[in-house]
Amino acid sequence: MNTQVLFNEYREGILECIHYGTVCVVNSQGILASAGDTDWLCFYRSASKPIQSLPVLLHGLDKKYGLTEEETAIFSGSHWADEEHVRILESILAKTELKEEQMVMLPTYPNRAERKEQLIKEHMPMRKIYHNCSGKHLGMMLLARELGEPVTDYWKRESRTQKEILSVITQMTDVPVPDIRIGVDGCGVPVYAVPFHAIAASYLRLSQPELIKDAALRRAVEHNMDILHRYPNMIAGKDIICSILASSPDLVGKSGALGVYAVGIRSLGLGIAVKIMDGSHDEFAAAVLQVFEELGYDDPEIISKIKEAYSDIILNDNREEVGFRKAVFRLSHETE
């Protein structure tokens, strides 16, 4: 596949690291701009969560179990197990009578270092709901129950639960089911691979639901985006790039493991996908800012929040400034 240099990292002015990857920007007419290969198969990883959660809304399970909008929003998130997330997850367990031990993943500690250190200091054990994917899993478990299959089978790729999620993936990407490849995600559930441009196209549809043909799915996307914008911390956490973007009703962005990031910009009618090929996550914010600059998108408040939370300065273990990273990619427009 064709990749391009996206980021360079320097130490003492010496080029030390090069991050290759690819970027794709689509509008309702197709591919608008790119850097690198737009056709290769790419796993969504957790960037699929705002799509995988849609069957919960399609079946009205939020209303059936009396879930709040804040609780429903976490089905789309990669939460950081902050106190607000744990409160929400425990409330969902209580309302639905699902059991934490029914989740397929192993117990863990939160991703956020301060939370992990706090829990260890308090001699608190690892829990499954601390896993960043636990919201997604609870949504799938509710769907499995609704479809009349064992809750504990929700993760199996041959289950009705996963087949229904696959049907939504194909509608959001326009990729036929036989052409969607399925693997196993880090948390144990199926993960989907589609042509790279199709990931961008699905985020275009998330940001512009009016492009979705199916009326029920369109309403589900509209509702999901509304609640994510009202409760942006549920998609990730305070000061995390996904939540910063979701704080604007014009934007939706979601990270995926091993260097995947996807964005939808409603006002510009654009969907964007970025893949950093070495799997690094350190460049996500810089990638978003560079794409904004290339596309002429200017939201001073959001850009300021991103820059405040993420720096291009590289620090060592002693918190000393030792280098910097720089975005070097440029988007090639299809008309050029």
Give the pLDDT band (50/70/90) at residue 335: low
Whose CA is closest to 110, among 76, 134, 141? 134
- Rounded to whole angstroms, the Cα distance separating 228 from 212 reads 19
- Average pLDDT score over residue span 308-327: 96
Residue with tokens 């980021």: 7
At 173-197, the pLDDT tens digits run 999 999 999 999 999 999 999 999 9
User: Over 80: is that where the pLDDT of 336 sits?
Assistant: no
**Burial of 125 from C-beta contacts in 10 A (0-12 / 13-18 / 19+):** exposed
- Average pLDDT score over residue span 234-238: 97
- Rounded to whole angstroms, the Cα distance separating 16 from 9 reads 6
At 132-185, the pLDDT tens digits run 999 999 999 999 999 999 999 999 999 999 999 999 999 999 999 999 999 999
Residue 32's Cβ-side half-sphere holds a number of Cα atoms within 13 Å equal to 17
- Rounded to whole angstroms, the Cα distance separating 74 from 228 reads 8
3-state secondary structure of 2: coil
User: Over 90: is that where the pLDDT of 212 sits?
Assistant: yes
pTM, rounded to two decimals: 0.96
Identify the pLDDT of residue 15: 97
CB 42 within 8 A of CB 193: yes
Give the pLDDT band (50/70/90) at residue 27: very high
Identify the pLDDT of residue 333: 87
- Rounded to whole angstroms, the Cα distance separating 14 from 86 reads 44
At 242-269, the pLDDT tens digits run 999 999 999 999 999 999 999 999 999 9
Identify the pLDDT of residue 134: 98
CATH for 4-333 is 3.40.710
Identify the pLDDT of residue 1: 81
Identify the pLDDT of residue 334: 73
Q: What percent of the chain has pLDDT over 90?
A: 99
Residue 201 tokens, joined: 């196209």
Residue 194 tokens, joined: 């589609």
User: Over 60: is that where the pLDDT of 105 sits?
Assistant: yes
CB 188 within 8 A of CB 104: yes
Residue with tokens 């601390």: 130
- Average pLDDT score over residue span 14-39: 97
Identify the pLDDT of residue 308: 97
Q: What percent of the chain has pLDDT over 70?
A: 99
- Which residues make Cβ contacts (< 8 Å) with residue 13, sequence separation at least 6? none
Identify the pLDDT of residue 99: 98
Identify the pLDDT of residue 159: 98
CB 72 within 8 A of CB 56: yes
Give the pLDDT band (50/70/90) at residue 31: very high
- Average pLDDT score over residue span 70-88: 97
